[in-house]
Amino acid sequence: MVLGLALCQPLTAGAETALPKAVTLRAEEITVQGPAGYCPDPATLRQTGGAVAVLLGRCSDQAVGPPAVISVTFGRAGSAAVMASGGAEMSAFFASDAGRKSLSRRGRAADVAVTSARSVGDLFLFRVTDRAEGTYWRGMTALNGRTVSVKVSGPELDEVESRKLVESTTKALRRANR
């Protein structure tokens, strides 16, 4: 695995450690970059069979924006075909037992309810309530032939902030992967 890193602000004033502003996986042709104030944590990077997952958080304690954890997952190359079905089919899948089970932290469909779903351009947005995780927004889109999932959670986030953070993260990922 080859990583390219562009440094972001230090975690604390005078700290030696800094989170990168972006993480590039050259072999997968993926760059993970968050919206302003949010940086990927390379220690959370996981790769399995061409799929990539990484967590993002605020670049520093002084960063503008609410504390949040942003989970970004890039599916395997070619996985974007599932997005071609459109919002209505995506909504139906995530309302089904199989779809709710795929969203559940514990793998139990009964733990999950999708309370809102909508398409915003080519971004499919849905609000999820999971007994193990609480309520959060998730977005899915296609990017360079891969399905990309963005999930935002945080105890201090309201519904509007959470949704906007999913949208701004998706925009940042698009810019970074042109």
d(CA 38, CA 35): 6
Question: Rounded to 5 degrees, what are φ and ψ at 4?
Answer: -115, 130
> Beta 30-33 vs 18-25: how paired, if at all?
antiparallel
**Share above pLDDT 90 across residues of the chain, in percent, rounded to a whole number:** 62
Q: What six digits make up the tokens of 5? A: 């890193």
Non-local CB neighbours of 140 within 8 Å, separated by 6+ positions: 83, 90, 123, 124, 147, 148, 149, 150
Question: What would the pLDDT profile of 134-170 be if each residue is shown by its tens digit?
Answer: 999 999 999 999 999 999 998 888 889 999 999 999 9
How sure is the predictor about 88, in pLDDT bands with cuts at 50, 70 and 90? confident
Q: What is the mean pLDDT of residues 5-19?
A: 45
